[in-house]
Amino acid sequence: MGFTDQRFNVNLSILYTELPLLERPAAAAAAGFTAVELWWPWVDSPTPEQSELDALKSAIEDAGVQLTGLNFYAGQLPGPDRGALSIPGEESEKFRANLKPAADFAASLGCKALNALYGNRVDGVDPAEQDKLALENLQLAAREADRIGAILLIEALNAPESPKCPIVSAPKAIEIVDAVNAATGLGNAKFLMDLYHLSMNGENADGLAQIIDTYTDKTGHVQIADNPGRGAPGTGDLPLESLLDRLKKAGYEGYVGLEYKPGDKPSTEAFGWLPAGARAAR
C-alpha cells in the first residue's frame, strides 16, 4: 500500500502560513490537494464578524477543496495555550461562545469533524475542578457536533512541548473519549491519533504500532509529522509509511492530516515525498 493508498488533507494552520489565510486554500489546491483542515483561525476571537467567516468560506469554496476538520477555539495556536475548555473563567467562556459559530461554519462547508483541545493545568486550581469543567464543556461540544452530523475529536498532545497539558497519552485521551460518550449517550466522541505527538511522548515504532492495533476502532482522525523536527515524512526517523499501512489494515478509512512544518522553504515545496497523483482524495 504505502502513502499512495491514503487520503491526505493539508492543515492550513501550520502549512502555507507564509501566505494570508484567504490565499491558503487555493495554494493547497494548486499543489494537487482536494481536502484541508484548520485550527480555529481567529486566535483572539471565538466569535469573529460574519464577514470574516464568509470570506474564508468563499476562499475554500472558490479553491474547490473540502474542509474536513476544524478546531474549536483553543487560544493561541501555535503558542502556549494549547486549549481552553478546561480553564476556568474567560477562556472557558470563550470556548462556549465559540461552539455554535464553529459548528455552523463547519456545517456550511460540509465539515464532519470538530476538534476540542483540552487545555493546560492552571496553577492554584484543583485539577479535579478543571476536569469537571472539561467534561461539562466536552458534552456541550459533542452535542454541537451531533447537531451538524459531525464527530468530536479529542487529542493527546505531548509533554515536552505542552508540559501543562494533562492529556499526553493515548490511554488518557481514550479515557476522556469514553467519559464523554458515557455522559452524552451520543457515541460521537472519537480519538484524534497524532503520531507525532505520541512519538514525542516516548512511543517508539513498536509502541505506535500497539496504539494503532488497540485504538483504531475509536479513532476519528489521524495526523502526522516526522520526529525529530516535526517536518515532512522522511525528514526524521518515524516509519510513517508502514504505520499508515498498519492503520489501513486495522480498518481506518479516514483522512490523514498533514500537520508538519515546511522548514525553511515554501510550503508548496514540502510535499516532494508524496506523488502528485496521490494528493487528491479518492
Q: Which residue has the cell 493527546?
A: 156
Cα–Cα distance for residue pair 191/66, rounded to 1 Å: 21
User: How much is the pLDDT for 78?
Assistant: 82
Give CA torsion, residues 49, 54, 55, 56, to 10 deg: 100
Angle between helices 170-184 and 205-215 (to 10 degrees): 20
Positions annotated as catalytic residues are: 155, 259
User: How much is the pLDDT for 82?
Assistant: 82
Provide the residue-wise pLDDT of the chain in tens; the chain has 282 residues: 578 889 999 999 999 999 999 999 999 999 999 999 999 999 999 999 999 999 999 999 999 999 999 999 999 888 877 899 999 999 999 999 999 999 999 999 999 999 999 999 999 999 999 999 999 999 999 999 999 999 999 999 999 999 999 999 999 999 999 999 999 999 999 999 999 999 999 999 999 999 999 999 999 999 999 999 999 999 999 999 999 999 999 999 999 999 999 999 999 999 999 988 888 876
Rounded to the nearest 5°, which phi and psi values hold at 64? 75, 25
Regarding pTM above 0.85, the answer is yes
Sequence-separated contacts (24+) of 61-65 with Cβ below 8 Å: 61/109, 62/25, 62/26, 63/25, 63/26, 63/28, 63/29, 64/29, 64/34, 65/25, 65/28, 65/29, 65/33, 65/34, 65/35, 65/36
User: How much is the pLDDT for 55?
Assistant: 98
Q: Please answer whether residues 56 and 21 qualify as being in contact, where contact means their C-beta atoms are separated by less than 8 angstroms.
A: yes
What spatial distance separates the first Cα and last Cα of the chain, rounded to whole Å?
14
b/e map 176-201, b = 16+ CB within 10 Å: bbebbbeebeeebbbbbbbbbbbbbb
User: How much is the pLDDT for 19?
Assistant: 98
Q: Which residue has the cell 486550581?
A: 125
Rounded to the nearest 5°, which phi and psi values hold at 270? -100, 20
User: How much is the pLDDT for 129?
Assistant: 98
User: How much is the pLDDT for 281?
Assistant: 76
b/e map 246-277, b = 16+ CB within 10 Å: bbbeeebebbbbbbbbbeeeebeebbeebeee
Give CA torsion, residues 243, 38, 117, 122, to 10 deg: 120
Cα–Cα distance for residue pair 196/224, rounded to 1 Å: 6
β-strands 255-258, 7-11: how paired?
parallel
Q: All domains of the chain, ordered by start, with CATH?
A: 3-278 (3.20.20.150)
User: How much is the pLDDT for 1?
Assistant: 58
User: How much is the pLDDT for 173?
Assistant: 98
